[in-house]
Amino acid sequence: MSKPVRIALVGATGLIGMTLIRMAVQRPDIRVIAVSRREIALPPGARMEVLVADPEHWDDAIAAANADVLVCALGSTWKKSGKDEAAFRAVDQELVLDCARAAKAAGIRQMISISSVGADPMAKNLYLKVKGETEQALGKVGLQRLDVIRPGLLRGPREELRPAEKLGMIASPLIDLFLNGELRRYRSVHAETIVEAIIGLSREKMAGRFVFEHDGILRAARRGQFHPQPLTPE
């Protein structure tokens, strides 16, 4: 087997981060090093490092991870930020960009960033506007490769599930049937599929900036699926 891909993960306590940590237990082809502001409860069998530091020192932690790829799954909500734009931008924009710059300084060639479908710096919706502005700024950091994943509604177990999200997750399989053509990009996607896409993209060598919406996420996920090699009889 080839050398495992070393993944530095920021945003480890969210849905995508925790799903990546859980799935990595059965994945000898990747090694996850989480950078977090607090300790993380790891799943049984986890073989990984957690570097605990205040966000202002994450540059040192990202450098210490000695990673091949930085995965950024950072994200707040309007409610968690106290409905304060500056607080919201501090996490979803400024901290994301700080991590990208730290990765660049540490010699990490690739960053995979979780954004959102509809991200647009000209959007009237603040959430989508900030996501779009952040994507633009990430493209100027100078990393050799930048992969931006833009999922629709994320499905999967969450510690905190808002009523609207819970209703959306229940209804999403039916709603997805009506999202065709240009609307396919708004289809829901499971967190495990996003993680498989992350793993698939972590193997890519071509330089540049790439954006993946629903169908592109599914294609990347197929490349990231794990197929254990059968045991050879002695």
Catalytic residue among 3, 83, 131, 186: 131
Query: Are the beta carbons of 188 and 152 closer than 8 angstroms?
Result: yes
Radius of gyration of the chain (CA): 17
* Cβ count within 10 A of residue 137: 15
- Asked about 127 being catalytic, the answer comes back as yes
* 12 Cβ contact list (under 8 Å, min separation 6): 18, 20, 21, 34, 35, 36, 40, 50, 73
Catalytic residue among 104, 127, 129, 186: 127
User: For helices 191-201 and 15-24, what crossing angle results, to 10°?
Assistant: 70
Residues making up the chain, counted from first to last: 234
* 225 Cβ contact list (under 8 Å, min separation 6): 196, 200
Q: Which residues are catalytic?
A: 127, 131
